[in-house]
């Protein structure tokens, strides 16, 4: 989500806070390693800050420190890691970076490792404003409609910054302030650690707050201010719960580079035509249109190219390509145009219909019915399942008796916000998009337009719709829907909210 703006005008170092356990994530995985679009949250933060070309990047680890460090080092080999053995607050965490930054002179950017949507260009603009103003301490602020849980930016009548007050320490009046701290700071190195040395634990949490460097800097006569950062507040929110991670995934997917593969499908190892389809289509609708066109271009007018085995009793109609090592078993029906790759198995009485492309090593189960669908390498559709107008990711598994419901899609729909499910104008015109290694248990029903993130497993009997984020285990047997609050379901004509526990 980041561009590559010019580097700051003075030397820059970065400190990233990545020591927290993330208890509310309800997972043994360190919080900053929870994936967004297939990459750890910390990876996204590092990508954003490294584009600023800092002289040094210090990552403060703590909970499962070695696991965190190992996860990001291959992509970012020049990082400096320091460990916060006791999690005594954000101020204490930044103090751990004093030794590696002892000889650094310039601006220190401080960010949190659980804010995966921060943008390089917004950070660059904030640093530039800090340096041009001649500030010694700057905090990036934003305005929100619901500031609960966030540190309030408190100013006097002349709009000068007074302090930052944490939620638990706010008075009733202070709690109503809508300008809040984003947790992003720019501090001149010569002042940072001397200010941190003065921070105390005189607060309701008994921790060393990084926010205390603001009043301490003001008291010392330094130039301190809160500077609005040019990025939407929703993209600067820290991720502390699975629900917040799902919301971040929704935002990321809707604003990421426009291609169908982003965050769902790995394109390495695919034949070029399929890789190009997935990385150039700007919406599910466009991908399905492109799939139909691709299959026609590969087989139309070429009759039946049979390089595999067709058992006696199988029925083939129209233009069909059957790759080497592939088998169409007795009683199966294939109606072209259809392209079938190598080592594919189509079991007895399966029905493979027009517009379908089966990549290598796929399996279509007994009596399954599939049309206008793309199955990536190693995916399996089990017995008695229907899959129409759908894409199944690498090694995806669709259990027996599953219905991937579909309806005729809207040709004019060119962009779909997957995070909320397809927009209403296109909502009923798609099948299901199942990310890499995602699994649907037996008798699952997926409504048109469902998107299931990579590695998410849905248990038998569930009814799903909308967007299910990656790496989830869903075992309930009830209707599941992820929707933002107060979203209107046009069919029901009422405001509804569903949550996944």
Architecture of domain 272-495: 3 Solenoid (2.160)
What is the rounded CA–CA span in Å between residue 164 and residue 110? 16
Q: What single string gives the DSSP state of each residue in 232-301?
A: -GGGGPPP-SHHHHHHHHHHHHHHS-S-TTTTT---TTS-HHHHHHHHH--SHHHHHHHHHHHHHHHHTT
| Terminal C-alpha separation, the chain | 29
CB 435 within 8 A of CB 264: yes
CB 441 within 8 A of CB 460: yes
Q: Residue ranges per domain, the chain? A: 12-140+182-255, 272-495
What is the pLDDT, as a whole number, of residue 257? 47
Q: Identify the segments of the chain with pLDDT beneath 50.
A: 1-7, 257-258, 409-429, 477-501
pLDDT in tens, 185-219: 999 999 999 999 999 998 778 899 999 999 999 99
Per DSSP bridges, beta strands 356-358 and 374-375 are parallel
Mean pLDDT of the chain: 85
CB 316 within 8 A of CB 334: yes
Q: Pick one of 3.90.550.10, 3.20.20.480, 3.40.50.10320, 3.40.50.2300 as the CATH number of 12-140+182-255.
A: 3.90.550.10
pTM equals 0.57
pLDDT in tens, 144-178: 989 998 999 999 999 999 999 988 889 999 999 99
């Amino acid at each position: 989500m980041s561009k590559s703006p010019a580097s700051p005008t003075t030397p820059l170092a970065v400190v990233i806070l990545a020591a927290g356990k993330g208890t509310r994530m309800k997972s043994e995985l360190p919080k900053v390693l929870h994936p967004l679009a297939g990459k750890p949250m910390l990876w996204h933060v590092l990508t954003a800050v490294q584009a600023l070309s800092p002289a040094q990047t210090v990552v403060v680890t703590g909970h499962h420190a070695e696991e965190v460090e190992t996860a990001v080092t291959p992509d970012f080999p020049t990082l400096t890691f320091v460990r916060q053995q006791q999690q005594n607050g954000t101020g204490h965490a930044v103090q751990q970076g004093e030794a590696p930054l002892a000889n650094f002179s310039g601006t220190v950017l401080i960010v949190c490792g659980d804010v995966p949507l921060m943008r390089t260009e917004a950070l660059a603009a904030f640093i530039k404003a800090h340096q041009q103003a001649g500030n010694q301490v700057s905090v990036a602020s934003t305005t929100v409609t619901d500031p609960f849980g966030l540190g309030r930016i408190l100013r006097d009548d002349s709009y000068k910054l007074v302090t930052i007050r944490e939620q638990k320490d706010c008075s009733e009046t202070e709690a109503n302030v809508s300008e809040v701290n984003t947790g992003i700071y720019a501090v001149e190195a010569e002042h940072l650690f001397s200010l941190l040395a003065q921070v105390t634990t005189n607060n309701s949490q008994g921790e060393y707050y990084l926010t205390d460097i603001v009043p301490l800097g003001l008291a010392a006569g330094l130039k301190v201010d809160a500077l609005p950062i040019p990025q939407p507040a929703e993209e600067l929110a820290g991720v502390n719960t699975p629900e917040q991670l799902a919301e971040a995934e929704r935002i990321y997917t809707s604003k990421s580079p426009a291609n169908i593969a982003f965050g769902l499908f790995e394109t390495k190892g695919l034949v070029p035509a399929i890789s190009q389809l997935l990385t150039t289509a700007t919406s599910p609708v466009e991908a399905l249109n492109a799939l139909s066109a691709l299959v026609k271009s590969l087989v139309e007018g070429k009759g039946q190219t049979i390089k595999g085995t067709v058992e006696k009793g199988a029925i083939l109609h129209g233009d069909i390509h059957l790759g080497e090592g592939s088998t169409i078993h007795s009683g199966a029906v294939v109606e072209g145009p259809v392209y079938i790759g190598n080592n594919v198995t189509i079991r007895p009485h399966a029905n493979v219909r027009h517009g379908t492309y089966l990549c290598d090593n796929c399996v279509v189960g007994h009596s399954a019915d599939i049309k206008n669908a793309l199955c990536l390498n190693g995916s399996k559709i089990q017995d008695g399942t229907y899959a129409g107008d759908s894409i199944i990711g690498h090694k995806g598994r669709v259990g027996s008796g599953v219905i991937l419901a579909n309806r005729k899609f809207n040709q004019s729909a060119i962009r779909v916000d997957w995070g909320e499910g397809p927009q209403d104008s296109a909502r009923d015109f798609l099948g299901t998009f199942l990310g890499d290694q995602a699994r649907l248990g037996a008798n699952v029903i997926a409504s048109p337009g469902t998107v299931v993130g990579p590695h998410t497993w849905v248990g038998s009997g569930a009814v799903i719709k909308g967007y299910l984020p990656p790496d989830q285990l869903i075992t309930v047997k009830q209707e599941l829907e992820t929707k933002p609050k107060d979203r209107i379901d046009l069919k029901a004509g009422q405001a509804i909210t569903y949550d996944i526990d």
